[in-house]
């Protein structure tokens, strides 16, 4: 069974709570940028769990910097240029790029940890 970092769970739970609360109450900047700030912790957390659990040869595996940077570039291009240029339901907000980058930095500091540092030991054999 895949094991996810504590930071992944923190981002996932906060994202879920935000989705529930915003149905009744919205704080403008929180509503606009919290999901973009949490996305790297969730998406990169899933990628990290995939690599750590599907290819378990290295228990100390962490996502490399270029992978995290590639995420920021990809999400920025996809959600701030491509979708808005193709569909009027989407709009570009370049502050989202700052949120993606900030979330990726937070993931790098708190979420990109080897399984051993998360208190998980790999089964031998």
Rounded to an integer, the average pLDDT of 77-82 is: 96
Say what angle helices 95-106 and 65-77 make with each other, to 10 degrees: 160
Question: What is the predicted pLDDT for the residue at 52?
Answer: 87
Q: Note whether 112 and 44 are within 8 A (CB).
A: yes
Rounded to an integer, the average pLDDT of 100-122 is: 84
> Which contiguous run of DSSP H or E holds residue 101?
helix 95-106
Distance from chain centroid for Cα 16:
14
For the chain, give every domain's residue range.
Answer: 6-118
Confidence of residue 59 (pLDDT cuts 50, 70, 90): low
Q: Taking 70 as the threshold, does the pLDDT of residue 77 lie above it?
A: yes
């Amino acid at each position: 069974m895949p094991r996810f970092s504590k930071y992944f769970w923190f981002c996932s739970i906060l994202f879920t709570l935000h989705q529930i609360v915003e149905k009744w109450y919205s704080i403008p900047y929180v509503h606009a940028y919290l999901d973009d700030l949490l996305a790297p912790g969730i998406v990169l957390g899933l990628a990290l769990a995939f690599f750590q659990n599907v290819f378990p040869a290295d228990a100390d595996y962490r996502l490399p910097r270029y992978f995290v940077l590639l995420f920021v570039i990809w999400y920025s291009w996809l959600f701030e240029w491509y979708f808005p240029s193709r569909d009027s339901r989407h709009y570009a907000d370049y502050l989202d790029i700052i949120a993606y980058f900030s979330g990726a930095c937070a993931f790098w500091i708190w979420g990109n940890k080897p399984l051993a540092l998360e208190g998980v030991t790999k089964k031998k054999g």
